[in-house]
Homo-oligomer: A and B are copies of this chain.
Amino acid sequence: MTLRIAVFGENRHEKVDPKVQEVYPEGMHTVIAEALRSHLAADGIDAEVRIALLDDIDQSLSEEALAETDVLTWWGHMAHGDVPDEVSERVVRRVHEGMGFIPLHSAHYAKPFKALMGTTCNLLWRNDGEEERVWTVNGSHPIARGVPHPIIVPEQEMYGEMFDIPAPDELVFISSFAGGEVFRSGAVFRRGKGKIFYFSPGDQEYPVYRRPDIQRVLANAVTWARPEDRPAAPVTITNAQRDWFRADDPEGTTRVI
């Protein structure tokens, strides 16, 4: 079955910031989408990758569009507030129904991520173009498949602890920075029927998403986050009659989660 991916890009820095235009002349989303296409093709995975922008968010992340999206990657920063609340709620609902969600870097502050975490998602930061090293701390996780230990990103914004997230269900990567800080940079969360992977490398001023090792992580994450073959509906609240599970489920109580 085709893996249907949407790459959400805020695409604002690319319009106003010469430094970012130089790094991503056609937008960060274009580089991410192309990376997913080529890596997934190399992995033999049948995938369709489309782009969704803040400028067309009412259409590109409409109810209908999300219903046909298996995994959504999300990059945003300066315009988190411009994402309509109802779009954020829609994304959250789709994660509950099973859609994979991959918030990237400054999307630690994206509305749907914060709503799914229930914490402030605060952190330390410093944009000094420091080296980041991304270390694998989970020996058997598919998201770390084929990933160098460590990935070395020569220039990056520092993100540091205390990162105010719930304890991840699985911690895959921890980063260190030249300035001495550490960060839980690759973290798995499960919410409802959906899988979430937050991955922090990727400031707009540095060509992080052009790196094959980072692209490897993104492709692994998207594959891992695809929904299981299940009804695309949230877990229901139901008044279940006694012995409902012995009957032919007359009340419609979900028998396959």
Residues in chain A within 8 A of chain B (CB atoms): 92, 96, 98, 115-120, 122-126, 128, 131, 133, 135-142, 144-150, 152, 158, 160-164, 166-167, 169-171, 174-182, 184, 189-195, 227-230, 234-243, 245-246, 253-257
Q: Name which residue of chain B comes closest to A123, CB basis.
A: B237
| Chain copies in the assembled complex | 4
Q: Which of B158, B179, B239, B254 contacts A126 (CB 8 A)?
A: B239
A185 to chain B, nearest CB (A): 10
Can you name the residue of chain B whose Cβ is closest to the Cβ of A237? B122
Q: A174-B161, A180-B133 are in contact. Are A234 and B138 (CB under 8 A)?
A: no
> Given A96-B120, A228-B144, A240-B124, A164 and B192 touching (CB < 8 A)?
yes
> CB-nearest residue of chain B relative to A178?
B180
- Shortest CB-to-CB span from A82 to chain B, Å, is 19
List 20 A–B pairs whose Cβ atoms lie within 8 Å, in order of A's numbering. A117-B118, A119-B192, A123-B237, A124-B238, A124-B239, A125-B240, A126-B240, A133-B182, A135-B160, A137-B162, A140-B227, A140-B228, A146-B229, A149-B257, A152-B245, A166-B169, A166-B190, A174-B174, A175-B182, A180-B243
Tell me, in angstroms, the Cα distance from A154 to B175 when the chains sit together.
21
B124 A181 Cβ-Cβ under 8 A:
no
A126 and B174 CA atoms in complex are apart in Å by 19
Q: Which of B164, B179, B181, B230 contacts A135 (CB 8 A)?
A: B181
